A = this chain, B = another copy of it.
């Protein structure tokens, strides 16, 4: 129950998911991440074992082993966890994303624009179609958040496609 650990984005992902689903094992968390937030902010599966432990030690989650079979650990959010999550949600942030794009980095240091653009275009177009398919099958009910961020993903993939096309065609 030792408090005061630093809460990172990964922490909030765990807290946020557990707030939604009630309780889960690390493996279930992995599935949940893959089902949505994952293309927003990826988390290695190993971290979905260590992070809940950390959060539990700090009192944000409870942990108990399943009695039979694999004796897996199930985690659930506590009141403390919920209020930490809510405090975080309530504070809008001015922080900006960095681009942090490996392709751009190569471009910066002199990588061949056309070759980079070709490779990147392919990848971004694929991802864009991916997103669009997801959105097409989205019933549109359910919470607003995931839908809005999916929209962000689409907008950004489109922008990347535009960008790399420009680079390619200028080459």
Contact = CB atoms under 8 A, between A and B. Distances in A.
B99 A123 contact: no
A145 B109 contact: yes
A155 B148 contact: no
A162 B155 contact: yes
A90 B109 CA distance: 11
Main secondary structure of the interface of A (DSSP, over half): helix
A164 to B, nearest CB: 9
A112 to B, nearest CB: 7
Given A100-B41, A104-B149, A104-B152, A109 B85 contact: yes
Tally of this chain's copies: 2
Contacts of A88: 106
B113 A148 contact: yes
A40 B104 contact: yes
A41 to B, nearest CB: 6
A99 B153 contact: yes
